[in-house]
Amino acid sequence: MKIKSISTYFLTVLTILFLSSDYYAQNDDQDLIKLKTWMTGSFTSEEQAEADTNFYNIHLEMVRIWENRDDAIWLYVEQAAAWSLDKPYRQRVYRLIKNEDGSFESAVFVFNDPLRFAGAWEEDYPLNELSPDSLSERDGCAIILQFEDDAFVGGTVDNHCSSELRGASYATSQVRIEENVLTSWDRGFDENGNQVWGAVTGPYIFKKTE
């Protein structure tokens, strides 16, 4: 009985150590930190909009949240048109992790009553009153990235990200993240594969401003 108790104790300790080292690796992985650094900040597509009327001047804000958590790197994301910055049309939380195969995953989460958090990216501790338990994951909408040619490149997998916006059946995202430039092409398609929303001629190009 005593031997069994000791064995159980050591098994528990080893399990805790294993999980702790895994979490620590997520939060301390240098490639993951690089991805976080390149993603966070203020971005705008103003330059692209001035050169091509097919695109709007969109502001994109991404800040780290819940820095005390070591299970992943969490970001609050806010997108708004330049003429209505106080009414963002997209507010999300991203969870960044590095997978065992070396790829990177940005899972997408939504939360209730998002507009009450509009402008939260300017706060010292944005979304601090929320927690992962307050979020709903958008299944199938995670972005899978590979690091190649000094950029993180990837997108959603197949047509697994469901969307009902403007008659869509599913949505896709293609992303390229460089040190000071983020390229994003989000599109919605109906059940026949016809595009029903999103940029038609190419991706949005966001330049980091700070």
* Measured distance CA(92)–CA(104) in Å, rounded: 18
Instruction: Tell whether the model's pLDDT for residue 19 goes beyond 80.
Output: no
Instruction: Tell whether the model's pLDDT for residue 208 goes beyond 50.
Output: yes
- CA 170 to chain CA mean position, Å: 18
Question: What's residue 20's pLDDT?
Answer: 43
Question: What's residue 29's pLDDT?
Answer: 87
In the predicted model, what is the mean pLDDT of residues 123-131?
94
Task: Spell out the domains of the chain, with CATH numbers in brackets.
Answer: 2-208 (2.40.128.590)
Contacts for 154-160: CB closer than 8 Å, 24+ residues apart: 154/103, 154/104, 159/189
Average pLDDT across the chain, whole number? 90
**Residue pLDDT, tens place only, 138-191:** 999 999 999 999 999 999 999 999 999 999 999 999 999 999 999 999 999 999
pTM of the entire structure?
0.86
Instruction: Tell whether the model's pLDDT for residue 12 goes beyond 70.
Output: no
Instruction: Tell whether the model's pLDDT for residue 54 goes beyond 50.
Output: yes
Rg over alpha carbons for the chain, rounded to the nearest Å, is 20
* Measured distance CA(97)–CA(112) in Å, rounded: 24
Tokens representing 41 are 């900040």
Question: What's residue 108's pLDDT?
Answer: 98
Beta-carbon contacts of residue 114 (< 8 Å; ≥ 6 apart) = 88, 91
Instruction: Tell whether the model's pLDDT for residue 76 goes beyond 50.
Output: yes
- In the numeric block, the tokens 């097919």 are attached to 54
* Measured distance CA(169)–CA(197) in Å, rounded: 11
Q: Determine what percent of the chain is predicted with pLDDT higher than 90.
A: 85
Instruction: Tell whether the model's pLDDT for residue 5 goes beyond 70.
Output: no
Question: What's residue 210's pLDDT?
Answer: 85
